[in-house]
Structure 1
Amino acid sequence: MYFGHISNVNNNGFPDAINIALAYLKNTDFDTLPAGCYEIKERLIFAQVLDLETKPKSEILPEVHRRYLDVQYLHSGQERIGIAPDLGNNQIAQAYNAERDILFYQDAENESELIMRKGNFAIFFPEDIHRPACIDQQSSNIRKVVVKIAISEI
């Protein structure tokens, strides 16, 4: 997992595919772009623009992906994201869905939290459990962009 701010990115530390994703996040006007899915490099790198309302942590299942990593960018609002390493000790709530590339756990052992503010991004690899869109202080509407990068691109 990596955490940072879009205004302060060291491109020398990332593979090209992640640099492509970060450049897209930095250079796209998400105030005018409708929610939806946008291909950056076919289905190998694509963005999901999401308008969400944060919810209590207890209402959101922790998740992992196997074929893609997530670059989650908070464009507006505030949220908390639960994070934990996937050590194989968590009870599965919903089995892996290959079409959606997602597995949900009932809970996440030794979970910590990221506090996300406008401009923050976090990169989640397949070994990183994450529980996005949790309330930070009070429920709020957020706009976030999730760039999905096929592991084969790394």
Structure 2
Amino acid sequence: MIVDSIKHGSLYYSLGTRIEKALKYLEQTDFSKLEPGRYDIAGDEIYAMIQDYEPLSQEQKRWEAHRRYIDVQFIASGAEMMGYAGIESLRVTEDYDESKDITWLEGEGSFIKARAGTFVILYPHDAHMPGTSDGAPGQVRKVVVKILTRTAS
């Protein structure tokens, strides 16, 4: 897992051309002018999903992990707590759903506060619990860029 400000996005271009494309998209797009939904960057290899929501309590959320896609989660506005843990430290509660590229898990992890301008890169071994409330009311606009892993392409 990598956490940083989008102001430093160019430092991570060397992680690969797909990560570079995702970060440039986040750096160059005014998300206040776009509606929630899916936006293709490079078809199914790289695409973005814009989401608006009110974060939920930790008790209302579940741990998740993906196999086929890397997530680059970007907070365009608002703030949330985001949980993270290595998948090996959690217990599977629902087997991998290939059609949705998701495994649901339970257990303990750590949390960071992600504010507007923060991006988080989550690899397949990084379980995460996004959209968790920091205790303060407020809407979040998040952009999740999905990057097909090289092993899945």
TM band (smaller chain): over 0.9
More helix by share: 2
Q: Whole-Å Cα distance in 2 between the matches of residues 129 and 64 of structure 1?
A: 5
- Mapped contact 2:63–2:127 kept (Cα < 8 A): yes
Give the match for residue 57 of structure 2. 56
Give the match for residue 101 of structure 1. 101
Identical pairs, percent: 34
Count residues in correspondence: 151
- Mapped contact 2:6–2:27 kept (Cα < 8 A): yes
Q: Whole-Å Cα distance in 1 between the matches of residues 24 and 92 of structure 2?
A: 35
Deviation at 1:149, TM superposition (A): 0.2
Deviation at 1:99, TM superposition (A): 1.1
Q: Whole-Å Cα distance in 2 between the matches of residues 45 and 18 of structure 1?
A: 9
Question: Aligned with 2:81: secondary structure?
Answer: strand
**62-71 or 7-16, larger mean C-alpha shift:** 7-16
Q: Deviations over 1:96-123 (max 9, x none)?
A: 1111101111x233x1111100000000
Pair 1:146–1:134, CA change in 2 (3 A): same
Match of 2:129 among 123, 128, 131: 131
Give the match for residue 82 of structure 1. 83
Pair 1:3–1:57, CA change in 2 (3 A): same
RMSD across aligned C-alpha pairs, in angstroms? Answer: 1.5
Q: Whole-Å Cα distance in 2 between the matches of residues 20 and 12 of structure 1?
A: 8
Q: Whole-Å Cα distance in 2 between the matches of residues 32 and 124 of structure 1?
A: 26
- Residues 111-122 of structure 1: matches in 2 within 5 Å? 111-122=109-120
Pair 1:12–1:100, CA change in 2 (3 A): closer
Q: Whole-Å Cα distance in 2 between the matches of residues 13 and 113 of structure 1?
A: 27
Q: Whole-Å Cα distance in 1 between the matches of residues 13 and 50 of structure 2?
A: 26
Runs (4 or more) in structure 1 with deviation over 3 Å come to: none
Matched letter for residue 146 of structure 2: K
TM normalised by structure 1 equals 0.92
- Mapped contact 1:68–1:151 kept (Cα < 8 A): yes
Q: Deviations over 1:72-112 (max 9, x none)?
A: 0000001000101111x43322221111101111x233x11
- Mapped contact 1:108–1:129 kept (Cα < 8 A): no
Q: Whole-Å Cα distance in 2 between the matches of residues 97 and 7 of structure 1?
A: 35
TM normalised by structure 2 equals 0.93
Matched letter for residue 107 of structure 2: A
Deviation at 1:139, TM superposition (A): 3.1
Question: Aligned with 1:18: secondary structure?
Answer: helix
Deviation at 1:12, TM superposition (A): 4.6
